[in-house]
Structure 1
Amino acid sequence: MKFETLPRLILGSRSPQRRQLLLQLIPEDRILIDPPADCSEEQLDQVYEFPQIEKKLRQIARLKNEQVSQQSSFQQGDLLLTADTVIVCRNSLKDFRVLGQPPQDHWEQAVRDWFTLHYSGRTHWAVSAVCFRNQQGRLFEVTVTSSIRMRHLTEAEIEDYLRTRESQGKAGGYAIQGLASSFVSQIQGSLSNIIGLPMDEVRLLLQNSLNI
């Protein structure tokens, strides 16, 4: 199903993956890309409980939505969609750890550690929060979690992947739609959520908020 007659929708994101996913639902001429002018994001490295991680993500997606709604491109009657996605791994028997984009100054070592300690032979989770603003300014929110299990990886496989530089700028340091797909042994839940935008939930948000 494609929403051919929607009002203009602003996608408040720099992610080319989110744009490509959204094009499955909305014609290109109805989408305007306008990410938040303030690109700094709240850090989640001190949040260790899953419900709190989800709550923080919703707050971040909502804050992005508020920021974009105050920018010059936003006009009354526009639709506005913002989202945030992180990778979550188990840090201990009780605690969880959030992995965002790898740090630019030492991304290789960070991603190497993530694959070795948290991905190889283990299950981790992709969590996305989506915030949608309808024409009347009402906000609709949803949080979606998918699980990913990777097979056991050799040191050589990890080093080969690092050399592709695909990790840079990716939540969790890899792209499941890219070369890292060969590492995945099982997925439970939404694949598009792992890429960055849970499309079934976005479709329902559009239908419910616009009474389609």
Structure 2
Amino acid sequence: MSDSKETLLSQTDSSDPPPAYDANPPQRNALPRPPPLTIPILNDLRNRRVILASSSPRRRQIMSLLGLPKLEIIPSNAAEDFPKTMEPFEYVLATATKKAQTVYEQEILNEEKGEPGLILAADTIVVDTTSGTILEKPRSEAHHLTMLKTLRNNRDHKVFTAMAAMAPLASARQPGYALETAIEESTVRFDTEVTDELILAYVRTREGVDKAGGYGLQGLGSILVEKIDGSHDNVIGLPLRSALRLMEKVLAKADDDDDDQLPGDDDESGEEEE
């Protein structure tokens, strides 16, 4: 099995040096788009301004499968500076929520396009379950090699994706929006027969330089993986089934708030009618 994997990766070798770790990653071709689903939540969203608060091309490709004509990509500029000493669940959820809130505050007063109908943000982390360490993107080739060898030697690791969805309320109630969050967890098992030579060959493709954990399941990185327990697209960066359920939940919450508003709720308290 290892020989066949090494043969496949050897076909990607080039006499040219691989790109630097601070270079922009190569652009990938978008996934082919199937006919749009006709379900109530998507029919509703097609009439709304929907924002994906992410610069990830993988998340953009996955979201494009929903066929939302008004989908916009507006990455959050919020600093991802929560301490890595936080529990993984807390860290990834706090980061995703901060991304969503930052873009919401930026776009809610957009006079040109109008307020967004829904904002979805996500954050994905890879966790070394042996040490409990949150793995970031590789900083150098040496760091990349060490990271992947550690994942192989430990065999199993966890991938968490947190999502935060926000929708504005039509009422004047504070805080002015509905917020719902969800976390998806997958366990990834690396193939222990993967050799150091295969890892080096993969690292030199530079496919994994912009990915937490240093590999891309949707590409050549799948050659390192033996099996996955849980959602595959969660490992890629956006579990679509959970995201769709979350968007449906936050819109229902926003609509329920509007329905619950009683006549006269907007009247200022303490004032008498003249």
Structure 1: gaps of 5 or more residues: none
Please list the CA deviations of residues 67-119 of structure 1 after superposition, one character each: whole Å capped at 9, or x if unmatched.
11122458434210011001011234xxx11102122xxx2111111111223
The correspondence for 1:113, drawn from 139, 146, 150, is: 146
Distance in 2 separating the partners of 1:205 and 1:33: 18
Distance in 2 separating the partners of 1:156 and 1:112: 10
Distance in 1 separating the partners of 2:122 and 2:164: 6
Instruction: Give the corresponding residue for 2:179.
Output: 139
Say which SS state the counterpart of residue 106 (structure 2) adopts: coil
Q: 1:8, 1:30 within 8 Å by CA — same for their partners in 2?
A: yes
1:99 matches 2:135: yes
One-letter amino acid of the structure 2 residue matched with residue 189 of structure 1? G
The structure with the largest alpha-carbon Rg is 2
One-letter amino acid of the structure 2 residue matched with residue 46 of structure 1? T
| Structure 1 stretch displaced more, 3-12 or 182-191 | 3-12
Instruction: Give the corresponding residue for 1:181.
Output: 222
Paired residue total: 200
The correspondence for 1:65, drawn from 100, 104, 107, is: 100
One-letter amino acid of the structure 2 residue matched with residue 128 of structure 1? T
Structure 2: gaps of 5 or more residues: 1-36, 170-176, 256-274
Please list the CA deviations of residues 23-79 of structure 1 after superposition, one character each: whole Å capped at 9, or x if unmatched.
12242x2211111124x31255434xxxx2101211111111111112245843421
Distance in 2 separating the partners of 1:130 and 1:208: 12
Instruction: Give the corresponding residue for 1:81.
Output: 120
1:30 matches 2:70: yes
Identity, in percent, stands at 31
Q: CA RMSD in A?
A: 1.9
Q: CA deviation at 1:121?
A: 6.0
Distance in 2 separating the partners of 1:75 and 1:125: 39
Q: Which has the higher strand share?
A: 1
TM-score, structure 1 as length reference:
0.87
Q: CA deviation at 1:120?
A: 4.2
Distance in 1 separating the partners of 2:43 and 2:201: 43
